Structure 1
Amino acid sequence: MYLSNHPTKEEASKYVASLIINRINTFKPNQNRKFVLCLPTGSTPLLVYKELARRCEGGEISFEHVITINLDEYVGLSSDHPQSYYQFMEENFDIPSNQFHLLPGLPIPPHTTPQESCASYESLITSLGGINLLFMGIGENGHIAFNEPCSSFRGRTKVVKLNEDTRRVNARFFDDPSEVPTHALSMGIGTILDSHEIVVLAIGQKKAEAVRKAMEDGVNHLCPASALQSHENVIFVTDDEASQNLRKTTKDYLASQIPCQRGSMTSSIGCIECIGSIESIGSIGRPVVSGDCCRTSGNQGRAINTNEDSDPTKQVDHSDITLLSKGKIKIDEKLDSKINNDDDQGDQDCNCL
C-alpha cells in the first residue's frame, strides 16, 4: 500500500489523471490488446474526468483502445434515468458507447434477474483479461463500490442492500430522499482485489476517518476498504483534509514506498520518480521526486525537471532534498554545479510513478 498526499483536491485529482495517462501510455494498447480501466461515479472523480478530457484534447492520451467498466449501479433505474450511473458516464466521460460497460439497473435480455446480470458482468471481466487499473473512491463508512461494512472480502459482483448512511449521503443527488434506491449491483471486494493495480482517491474532511481506518487499523470487515491492505499494488491519493487523521509516520513511510517503475532511474540516493504533483520526501536515503514531468539520468544520479515554470535542478547525489512547491526542487547547498540543460547524454524520458 502506498500514499500520495497533496495540499488540495485539485492537485490530488491531477495526480490521479497523470497516473491513468501514464499507465495507458506505458501499456501501449492497440486493436488486439485493449487496456481495461475500471471507473467510479459520484462527485469524487469529477475533477479527474475533467483533467483527462483536457489532456485528451491536447493529445497527451487517446482512449481509442481503452475499454472502461464501472463499479456499480442502482437496482431499478433504467439507463435513461437522470440518476443512473449510465447517464453519469454519458455526461462526464466522453468515450464511445461500445467501449464502456456498465451493470444494468434493469436486466437486459436475455437476462431476467439482477443476479444473472451480475454473473454476466463477472464473465465479461474475465473475457477482457481482467482489470488493468481500477480507480475508485471511498465512502464515509469505509465502503468501496457498494460493498458496505461486513461485506465478504471474497465476494464477487452481486446485489447488495444499501446501508442507510450511504443512502443518506447519496440523497443529495435525488429530488426526494425517498427516491434513493435501497439496493444496488456492485462489483465485489474479491473482484476488486483481482485488479492488477488500484488507485483510491479520497478528498475532503468527511473521508478522513475512513482513510485512517483503511490504512492504519488492521484488516476489519467493518471497514471494507481495509481489505486493500492485502493488495500489493494499491495507492491512496489524498488531499490534506482526507489525510489529516493519519499519523505523520504513516504518511512519511507510505509515501517513501512508492516503487520505481518503467522509465525511472536509480541513483546513489535511491529512486527518482516523476509524474503528478510534488511529493514529500525527507532525508530517508530513498527520496521520491515527483513533478508533472522530470527526466532522469542513471550515470550521475542527475535529474532535470522539464516543467516550464521550474528552474533547472542541480546535480542530485545526496539525500538532503527539500520540496518547495509544484515543479520546484531545492537541493542542499553543499551540492555542486547546476546541470547544463543542453547535456542530455544518458538521459531518458521518464515514464514512472
Structure 2
Amino acid sequence: MKIKMVNNYQEMSNDAADLIEDQLKKKKASILGLATGGTPEGLYEELVRRYHLGRIDFQEVQTFNLDEYIGLPQDHPQSYAFYMWSRFFSQVNIDPARIHLPFSTTAGDAEAATAYDKQLKQAGGIDLQLLGIGENGHIGFNEPSSFLWADTHYAELSRETMEANARFFAWREDVPQQAITMGMAPILQARHIVLMASGKEKAHAVKEMLCSPISPWHPASFLQLHSKVEVVLDAEAAAELPPHVFAYK
C-alpha cells in the first residue's frame, strides 16, 4: 500500500488522473471501476481535459460503476447514472456499449444484482478500481455492519451516509434510503485500487482505514489486505495520520 499526501483537492485530482492515465497507457482496453460523489468530480474534469488534449483514449475502455440509488430514474439529476453521463461519459470517446451501471427500481430484484456480477466476471474483473471513502468508512455503499456482503447487493443506507448525501438534494426527505452496490469481493479482486479522500470530515475515516484492525464495522479497513492500493489524500484528509504511515508499503 502506498499513501501519498498532497496539498489540496486539485493536486489530489491530478495525481489520481495520473494513475488512470498510466493504466490506460499500459492497457488500452482496461476495465475501470468508477466511483461517484463529491470527491472524484475534479478527477473526471481532469480526465476530460486530458482526453481533449489527446493524452488519453477511452475508445477501448470498459467501465463498471460501484453503486446507484434505488428509486431514482437514471435521468434524475441526483442519480449516479446522470452524474456519470453529465460529468464524464458524454465528454469522452467511450463506447456506450462498454459502460455498465447497476440499476434496479426495487430493492428486492435479485436478478439485477446477479446480472451485474455476471457482466463483471465475463469482462474479466477490474483492472483499476477508483474508490472514495464515507465518513463512516463505507466504500461503495458497503455500510458498517457485523458482516459484509461479497457480491452485488441491496443496501440500507446508514443515517450517517444519508446525512452526508443530503447536501445534494433540495430536501432531506428526498435522500434515498436504499441503494444497489458492488460487494466487497469484486472490489478486493481488482488488480489495482486507487482511493481518494479530501477534506477534514474524512480524516477520522482515513485514520481508521489505515491504522485500526480490519473490521466489517469499518469496511475500508479491508483494503489493508490488498497487494496494490494507492491512497491519495489532501492535507485535511491526512490530518489525523501519524507520520510513520507515509512510509507504509
Q: TM-score range by the shorter chain?
A: over 0.9
In the alignment, which residue of structure 1 is the partner of 2:102? 103
Per the TM alignment, residue 155 of structure 1 is displaced from its structure 2 partner at its CA by: 1.6
Between the two proteins, what is the percent identity of the paired residues?
38
Per the TM alignment, residue 154 of structure 1 is displaced from its structure 2 partner at its CA by: 5.4
Equivalent residues of 2:142, 2:149 under 8 A apart = no
Per the TM alignment, residue 79 of structure 1 is displaced from its structure 2 partner at its CA by: 1.0
Equivalent residues of 2:137, 2:218 under 8 A apart = yes
In the alignment, which residue of structure 2 is the partner of 1:3? 3
Cα distance in 1 for residues equivalent to 2:18 and 2:145: 33
Task: Select 1:92's aligned residue among 87, 95, 101.
Answer: 87
Count matched residues: 245
AA matched with 1:156:
D
In the alignment, which residue of structure 2 is the partner of 1:232? 227
In the alignment, which residue of structure 2 is the partner of 1:63? 58
Extract structure 1 runs of 4+ deviating beyond 6 A.
Answer: none
Task: Report whether the alignment pairs 1:202 with 2:197.
Answer: yes
Structure richer in helix, relative to its length: 2
In the alignment, which residue of structure 1 is the partner of 2:239? 244
Equivalent residues of 1:78, 1:105 under 8 A apart = no
TM-score, length of structure 1 as denominator length: 0.67
Q: Deviations over 1:289-346 (max 9, x none)?
A: xxxxxxxxxxxxxxxxxxxxxxxxxxxxxxxxxxxxxxxxxxxxxxxxxxxxxxxxxx
TM-score, length of structure 2 as denominator length: 0.95
Q: CA RMSD in A?
A: 1.4
AA matched with 1:15:
D
Equivalent residues of 2:207, 2:240 under 8 A apart = yes
In the alignment, which residue of structure 2 is the partner of 1:162? 157
In the alignment, which residue of structure 2 is the partner of 1:262? none
Flag the structure with larger Rg: 1
Q: Which protein, 1 or 2, shows the higher relative CO under an 8 Å CA cutoff with sep ≥ 6?
A: 2
Structure 2 unaligned regions, length at least 5: none
Q: Deviations over 1:241-282 (max 9, x none)?
A: 10110001112x12xx3xxxxxxxxxxxxxxxxxxxxxxxxx
The 5-angstrom pairing of residues 1-353 of structure 1 reads 1-27=1-27, 29=28, 34-94=29-89, 95-106=94-105, 113-150=108-145, 152-153=147-148, 155-251=150-246, 253-254=247-248, 257=249
What secondary structure is seen at the aligned counterpart in 2 of 1:207? helix
AA matched with 1:42:
G
Compared CA separation, residues 3 and 125, structure 1 to 2 (3 A): same
Per the TM alignment, residue 151 of structure 1 is displaced from its structure 2 partner at its CA by: 5.9
Equivalent residues of 1:151, 1:224 under 8 A apart = no
AA matched with 1:137:
G
What secondary structure is seen at the aligned counterpart in 2 of 1:106? coil
Per the TM alignment, residue 83 of structure 1 is displaced from its structure 2 partner at its CA by: 1.1
Cα distance in 1 for residues equivalent to 2:159 and 2:108: 24
